[in-house]
Chains A and B, each alone.
Chain A
Amino acid sequence: MTSSAMQQLYQQIILDHAKSAHGAVAELSALDADAASGAAGGLRQAQSHQVNTTCGDEITVRVGLTGTGADARIEGFGWRGVGCSISMASASVLNDTVRGTTVGESEAMLDLFREMLRSRGTIEPDEEVLGDAAAFAGVSKYPARVKCAMLPWVAFEAALLQLR
């Protein structure tokens, strides 16, 4: 029966990310700066726990920054959670999207992602800009699932807010 609508929603990119779960950690503890970053000293860190009350999906996202303001850089990132393939894939894509970017850049991506998800399928995503996150355009046609896709990004946003 598998319809094209289902294949549109559950794109292979999403199913793959749900399985590979980039950035997922078994235990969330203090983050070390990413090896590639060369950042010396500790990271300013915060985490946020978010729950989707309709289905019980849960995620905790932890971020570590060097520097301050919009130019602060995300040098540490980790998450753990349980949930549907949409929310888990979204967390994996979030990891790939924001790790190593500045706070200003990641917030701009967050705005684009949110705008796309709230568009009810009317916004054609720019894959050049959004990368794998563009695969979630199909989710925007399913209002009940937008929250699943947003859950990790909302946790990320809330964690950043604590470091303002």
Chain B
Amino acid sequence: MTFVAPPPAPAPDQASPGQTLSTDEVLRIRNDFPVLHQLVNGHPLAYLDSGATSQNPISVMEAEQEYYEQRNAAVHRGAHTLAFAATEVFEAARATVAAFVGADENEIVWTSNATEGVNLVSYSFSNASLGLGGPAAARFRLSAGDEIVVTEMEHHSNLIPWQQLALRTGSTLRFIPVLPDGTLDLAAAAEILNPRTRLLAVTHASNVVGTINPIEDLVAMAHAVDALVFLDACQSAPHLALDLAALDVDFAVFSGHKMLGPTGIGVLYGKAELLAAMPPFLTGGSMITTVDMQGAEFLAPPQRFEAGTQRISQAIALASAVDYLSHTGMGRIRTREAELGRRLVEGVTAIPGVRLLGPGLGVERIGLAAVDVAGVHAHDVGQFLDEAGIAVRVGHHCAQPLHKKLGVTASTRASTYLYTTDDEVDRFLAVLAEVGPFFGVSR
């Protein structure tokens, strides 16, 4: 096996909407993903669950293997050649990911996943609220009377850590409601964000209704009342050109496994001046300068927030995934996914007895659609699709409050990525149309 560096060709412009990926290009891309080429229940696998976890191209798996075969060593310590080599690729990975999302290297903190990033910030706020971090950390201190604002469409991972932070600090959790069409109620947001608001936590793109939220507007509203903004970018970083500096959010998280990377690696972004002022969450080795029996001095970010041995091979593999995405072009991926999203929306709304959750045509969505089949539980729908080799997500997709708001307990979600073909979407639609008749709810 040879280890090939990511293609050196100049990466396409990431930000501007690109030309869609042609059928030939999608088929070529699919050749890089071995897992897609298999039969499931006698049918070619149609993997429509990338919103939950994406697949890995060979180059990503090889990057991880190459690290273990040639460079594996502890990073940021040890004075031997391998340790230098490991540190070099580990920090190069940070630079790659930073550039991918419009951040500086010292603004990128490795975590195990996005959920850990949310917890890291919420516990750092907790620690600040206990007085840790000194005067510099004053802006993270919460107490009774302070308000944390989330939205009704959040994934549980961008909800529960803030609920818990409110409980620990005596502050109040409020939420921006979702309108019946699945978009955020911005008029209500203008009322809810007020001078008592200290933090707004909001998702960039919904993992259920697929909409891309107007983050610029929300950031302007939040900053006008001096509140910090925490962005859940799990469903946007994989699918569109993300420029965190331009969005002007204060913190953001996303996870590697949803963007062609391995599991076990996530990213926390924080503006440099905020990370510099924030007390640590996890403490221990690798995050200190000097230690005595009474206390310790901490390193500057990002190391201050990276206690213990890091996820080195995963970070390197994530950088390889980012290279793959950049090489394809995020503008092109966004265009292609909007196309797949439209195809899904047009298809599901044409099936009697199938209700699309969230906005219909005319509102851009990432390439996903969650549906409710009248009279058939999502688990049964998913089983029926699986029998035809079609992998979808069923259940509440870690967003119970949103499902409740939309009047369902569970839904069936098809989610696409750059390797998804039109044919796979059409197969999903054809089998979905058979569900009602099979279960005897519509003939």
Residues from chain B with Cβ under 8 Å of A44 in the complex: none
Residue B438 CB within 8 A of the other chain = yes
Q: Are B438 and A10 in contact (CB under 8 A)?
A: yes
Kindly supply a per-residue 1/0 record for chain A positions 1-14, scoring 1 wherever the CB is within 8 Å of any chain B CB and 0 otherwise: 11101100110000
Residues from chain A with Cβ under 8 Å of B394 in the complex: 55
Kindly supply a per-residue 1/0 record for chain A positions 116-129, scoring 1 wherever the CB is within 8 Å of any chain B CB and 0 otherwise: 00000000000000
Q: Are A82 and B409 in contact (CB under 8 A)?
A: yes
Cα distance A1–B403 when bound, in Å? 30
Instruction: From the candidates B377, B396, B430, B440, name the one contacting A83 in the complex (CB within 8 A).
Output: B377
Residue A57 CB within 8 A of the other chain = yes
Which residues of chain B (363-390) have a CB below 8 Å from chain A? 376-380, 383-384, 387-388
Question: Are A15 and B387 CB-contacts (below 8 A) given A56-B400, A84-B379, A85-B376?
Answer: no
Cα distance A134–B439 when bound, in Å? 20
For chain B, which range describes its interface: under 10, 10 to 19, 20 to 34, or 35 or more residues? 20 to 34
| Chain B residue nearest to A19 in the complex (CB) | B440
Q: Are A6 and B400 in contact (CB under 8 A)?
A: no
Which residues of chain A (61-94) have a CB below 8 Å from chain B? 82-86, 88
Q: Are A6 and B379 in contact (CB under 8 A)?
A: no
Q: Are B395 and A55 in contact (CB under 8 A)?
A: yes
Instruction: From the candidates B379, B380, B434, name the one contacting A1 in the complex (CB within 8 A).
Output: B434
Residue A22 CB within 8 A of the other chain = no
Question: Are A84 and B396 CB-contacts (below 8 A) given A5-B41, A15-B439?
Answer: no
Residue A54 CB within 8 A of the other chain = yes
Shortest C-beta distance, A123 to chain B (Å), equals 21
Shortest C-beta distance, A151 to chain B (Å), equals 11
Shortest C-beta distance, A99 to chain B (Å), equals 25
Residue B431 CB within 8 A of the other chain = yes
Residues from chain B with Cβ under 8 Å of A159 in the complex: none
Residues from chain B with Cβ under 8 Å of A148 in the complex: 379
For chain A, which range describes its interface: under 10, 10 to 19, 20 to 34, or 35 or more residues? 20 to 34
Q: Are A6 and B384 in contact (CB under 8 A)?
A: yes
| Chain B residue nearest to A83 in the complex (CB) | B377
Residue B410 CB within 8 A of the other chain = yes
Which residues of chain A (26-81) have a CB below 8 Å from chain B? 54-57
Residue A145 CB within 8 A of the other chain = yes
Cα distance A145–B376 when bound, in Å? 15
Q: Are B409 and A56 in contact (CB under 8 A)?
A: yes
Residues from chain B with Cβ under 8 Å of A5 in the complex: 41, 387
Q: Are A2 and B434 in contact (CB under 8 A)?
A: yes
Residues from chain B with Cβ under 8 Å of A10 in the complex: 380, 438-439
Q: Are B439 and A85 in contact (CB under 8 A)?
A: yes
Shortest C-beta distance, A121 to chain B (Å), equals 15
**Which of B41, B400, B434, B440 gathers the greatest number of chain A CB atoms within 10 Å?**
B440
Q: Are A54 and B395 in contact (CB under 8 A)?
A: yes
Q: Are A6 and B387 in contact (CB under 8 A)?
A: yes
Q: Are B378 and A55 in contact (CB under 8 A)?
A: yes
Cα distance A109–B144 when bound, in Å? 55
Q: Are A15 and B396 in contact (CB under 8 A)?
A: no
| Chain A residue nearest to B397 in the complex (CB) | A56
Q: Are B438 and A84 in contact (CB under 8 A)?
A: no
Q: Are B439 and A56 in contact (CB under 8 A)?
A: no
Shortest C-beta distance, A142 to chain B (Å), equals 7
**Which of B377, B409, B431 gathers the greatest number of chain A CB atoms within 10 Å?**
B377
Residues from chain A with Cβ under 8 Å of B377 in the complex: 55, 57, 83-85, 88
Residues from chain A with Cβ under 8 Å of B380 in the complex: 10, 84-86
Cα distance A88–B394 when bound, in Å? 17
| Chain A residue nearest to B377 in the complex (CB) | A84
Q: Are A6 and B410 in contact (CB under 8 A)?
A: no
| Chain A residue nearest to B43 in the complex (CB) | A1
Question: Are A2 and B438 CB-contacts (below 8 A) given A55-B378, A83-B377?
Answer: yes
Residues from chain A with Cβ under 8 Å of B430 in the complex: 1
Residues from chain B with Cβ under 8 Å of A2 in the complex: 434, 438
| Chain B residue nearest to A82 in the complex (CB) | B409
Q: Are A55 and B379 in contact (CB under 8 A)?
A: yes
Shortest C-beta distance, B440 to chain A (Å), equals 6
Cα distance A9–B383 when bound, in Å? 10
Instruction: From the candidates B379, B388, B410, B434, name the one contacting A86 in the complex (CB within 8 A).
Output: B379
Question: Are A6 and B409 CB-contacts (below 8 A) given A55-B395, A56-B396?
Answer: no
Q: Are B387 and A55 in contact (CB under 8 A)?
A: no
| Chain B residue nearest to A58 in the complex (CB) | B409
Residues from chain B with Cβ under 8 Å of A84 in the complex: 377-380
Q: Are A55 and B376 in contact (CB under 8 A)?
A: no
Kindly supply a per-residue 1/0 record for chain B positions 186-202, scoring 1 wherever the CB is within 8 Å of any chain A CB and 0 otherwise: 00000000000000000
Which residues of chain B (384-424) have a CB below 8 Å from chain A? 384, 387-388, 394-396, 400, 403, 409-410
A-B contacts besides A2-B438, A3-B388, A84-B380, 15 pairs, CB < 8 Å: A1-B388, A1-B430, A1-B434, A5-B41, A5-B387, A6-B383, A6-B438, A10-B439, A55-B377, A56-B400, A56-B403, A56-B410, A85-B439, A88-B377, A148-B379
Interface residues of A (CB under 8 A from B): 1-3, 5-6, 9-10, 15, 54-57, 82-86, 88, 142, 145, 148
Q: Can you name 9 A-B residue pairings with CB atoms under 8 Å?
A: A1-B431, A6-B387, A15-B439, A54-B395, A56-B396, A56-B403, A56-B410, A82-B409, A148-B379
Q: Across chains A and B, which 10 residue pairs bring their CB atoms closest together, nearest first?
A: A84-B379, A84-B377, A55-B395, A55-B379, A56-B396, A84-B380, A56-B410, A85-B380, A56-B409, A6-B387
